[in-house]
Amino acid sequence: MQMDTFGYLRQARRPGTYLALGIAMVAVYLSFTLTLNALVPVLAVLYLALVLARLIRNPGRGFRLGPNRIDWFTRKGRQSASLDDLIGVAIGNGTTGQTVCVLRLADGRTVPLSGVEKFDQGALMREFGRRGIRIMA
């Protein structure tokens, strides 16, 4: 039986961020060529620096649950594990009432998944259950 991927991934490198980069570059160019007030180029360069920093760091959040592996984002970047390496998954409510999902891996690590806050707990349980992963609610 073929299973589709399930999850939510969001990275900084997407069309809207590249559009912001283009606008920032045009703003810097125009602020220098039109010899505007000295504050305008400073603000344009600051905006360009913020957009570039976001693109370089490329923060991401979320996870992707495939037929035989799971990928997730951490502060250090993207990580992954085979579904055979998962001992189980704990799904429940956090202190703010949002959904929380924590993976237990065979090497002893516990990994909280980001991007599950708005997911329905039942949908998460079904998707992990379809892949034969033990669920602790």
How far apart, in Å, are the Cα atoms of 22 and each of 35, 48, 52, 68, 126? 20, 9, 11, 39, 42
List pLDDT tens digits, range 108-127. 899 998 888 888 888 889 88
Q: Which residue has the tokens 């504050």?
A: 39
CATH of the domain at 121: 2.30.29.30
This prediction has a pTM of 0.67
Specify the number of domains making up the chain.
2
SS3 call for 17: helix
List pLDDT tens digits, range 11-70. 788 899 999 999 999 999 999 999 888 899 999 999 999 999 988 887 778 888 888 889
CA distance 22 to 120: 37
Q: Is residue 109 part of a domain?
A: yes
How far apart, in Å, are the Cα atoms of 105 and each of 84, 86, 90? 9, 5, 11
Q: Is residue 69 part of a domain?
A: yes
Q: Does residue 122 share a domain with residue 91? A: yes
pLDDT band of residue 1 (cuts 50, 70, 90) is very low
The per-residue pLDDT for 5 is 67
Q: Does residue 67 share a domain with residue 125? A: yes
Provide mean pLDDT across the span 70-83. 86
The per-residue pLDDT for 115 is 82
* Nearest Cα to Cα of residue 82 among 95, 69, 72, 97: 69
- Name the residue range of residue 119's domain: 60-136
Q: Does residue 84 share a domain with residue 132? A: yes
CA distance 66 to 41: 47
Q: Does residue 127 share a domain with residue 65? A: yes
